[in-house]
Amino acid sequence: MRHISLLSLVLVALLVFSGCAFVNIKAPYDVDLDNTELGTKTGTAEAYSVLWLVAWGDASYAKAAKNGNITVLKHSDQEVLEIFFGLFVRWRVVVYGD
């Protein structure tokens, strides 16, 4: 019985520390970061997925710019939150501009 408990603990630790149980990534969409100007406004747009079956939302540049009342895009970032192999996923696009 003790071996089963230890094995279960090891499996849970592997899931958590390998990034399978929880992933939260933020990354820029820009490769020329030393010349990036962000602008004065920020806009975000999100899309979601649940149970690998249902997805909804609009995580496009256009939606993010509209939400932030931005007409000139200068920079954008992406954020991904994933829980347990994609059981729940949130994609977020953040745009900056004027």
For 40-92, how does the pLDDT look when each residue is reduced to its tens digit (9 = 90+)? 888 999 999 998 889 999 898 899 999 989 888 888 889 999 887 778 999 99
Give the whole-angstrom CA distance, residue 94 versus residue 59: 9
Q: How many CB atoms lie within 10 A of CB 60?
A: 13
Compute CA distances 46 → 8, 55, 60, 76, whole Å.
35, 11, 8, 13
Burial status of residue 74 (CB atoms within 10 A of its CB: 0-12, 13-18, 19 or more): middle
Give the whole-angstrom CA distance, residue 71 versus residue 93: 16
What is the pLDDT confidence band of residue 2, given thresholds at 50, 70 and 90? low
